Amino acid sequence: MTRARDRRRYARAISALASDGPRCPRRRGERVVTFRATGPWTLERVRGMNVKEITRWLREDDDARLDELWREADDVRRRSVGDAVHLRGLIEFSNHCGRLCLYCGLRVENRAIDRYRMSADEVLDCARQAVEFGYGTVVLQSGEDLGTTREWLVDVVRRMKAETPLAVTLSVGERSLDDLRAWRAAGADRYLLRFETSNRTLFERIHPPRDGRPSDRPAMLRQLRDLGYEVGSGVMIGIPGQTYADLARDLEWFAELDLDMIGVGPFLPHPATPLGAAAAPASVVASAPGGRRGTSAGSSATASPAGGRRYGPVVPPTSEDPPPPAATSGQVPNTELMTYKVIALARLLCPLANIPSTTALATVNRAEGRELGLRRGANVVMPNLTPAVYRRQYEIYPAKACISEEADACHHCLTQRIAALGRSVGSGRGDSLNRLRCPAGARIAREATP
């Protein structure tokens, strides 16, 4: 798939990473870059696959060639992160959101859903259930809900860390540096914030700024890293107006941001949103009480002088008109197949990242979407622990899979599916090997020195 020499280098680098143990490969004389990398470094130089090649794979239709991609991704997955599938228990603790994302069912203007916030005790009950099921991680997810105060979440995280051995991942949108710092000090281990698309113009069209406050998710991802969180991000695939070049740049960002976790899924607009209402055939997927009353969530990429990626000034959209689709030949389809391609390429570009086979995949292919994701590079699934009474109200996109199952049904279903693949359920917290092998912010360019 790449030039033979590049392939050999890539294989050597993967083997080194897979066999080196939890030490920074800097000691092995491999090239190391820092998260705030200085100087030019490109995928072509450090990974053996350039943006042109990524784009070619994204456009690939030949079944035999795609089988080659799936095999390669699965092989790299096995050699870099192993056969274990890690389970992350998802707790959707609030569906309040103050934002207006043009595709999301939780947007503040959607008055058709009942809003909820779970109590701290309810969240803790879900965490205890996670321990009973043998999960090593819980993901606390909500809309961008400022009603979830810093103090409330500090209390929940502290109690969880005191009572359980769980790793705690937060996915609560864009929050202040003080909030992020307080939650990290309380014990939160990881943070998920999708940048959604590297096309800044497109990001701004579909994510109106909140209170005129500009979004700079790459900068926030760097802050999270500096605070000591394991950092996860990801994108939507097939946003109207998203081109193949955009998506190839998204993949490039995954590598440049040196993500510990990468979550991707097809663009699935909720019908009660401007983009859902305007959904054109071209953007249709191919296959497919007691609480406190009251994802989270992208741009022509701009290379910063420091080698990272930054957004420029935000230009608020003037309307909620959906962005026009890209020219037919350039528009990325929001299909299941394209999602598998992105998962597989993400695995090749970021061998040590934790990559989930997402609920969105299970939504577009209930029979085997999750399994195919796991066979094409993914190593994580996220069983839902949210009580069913709330789960139905957490409808970011329509017809979400597993919306009415109770937690134990999700648990048994997923563990059986993993066993049927001949894979094992991971034990322990499933910490990022990317982080474990290179602590203290030193980031690895996965190429042996020529």
User: Applying CB under 6 A, which residues contact ligand SF4?
Assistant: 97, 99, 101, 104, 106-107, 143-144, 173, 295-297, 396
In the numeric block, the tokens 């503040």 are attached to 108
**Spatial separation of the C-alpha atoms in residues 296 and 139, rounded to whole Å:** 12
Retrieve residue 389's tokens.
């009474």
Cα 361 from Cα 378, distance rounded (Å): 12
φ/ψ of residue 366, rounded to 5: -65, -35
Q: Give me the helices (H) in 278-384, please.
A: 336-349, 359-364, 369-375
Q: What DSSP character marks residue 20?
A: S
Q: Are 7 and 68 in contact (CB under 8 A)?
A: no
User: What is 190-250 written as a DSSP string?
Assistant: EEE---B-S-HHHHHHHSPPBTTBPP-HHHHHHHHHHTT-EEEEEEEE--TT-BHHHHHHH
- Tell me how far, at minimum, the Cβ of 107 lies from ligand SF4, in Å: 4
Question: Which of 107, 370 has the CB closer to ligand SF4?
Answer: 107
In 3D, which of 143, 155, 93 has the Cα closest to residue 119? 93
Token output for 42: 């490109």
Secondary structure percentages of the chain, helix, strand, coil, to 5 = 40, 15, 45
Torsion over CA: 89, 174, 230, 343 (sign): positive
**H-helix or E-strand containing 380?**
strand 380-381
Q: Residue 316's closest CA among 128, 164, 99?
A: 99
Q: Which residue has the tokens 């992020």?
A: 180
- What crossing angle do the helices spanning 336-349 and 51-59 adopt, rounded to 10°? 150
Q: Name the one residue in this structure whose structure tokens are 């590079």.
A: 377
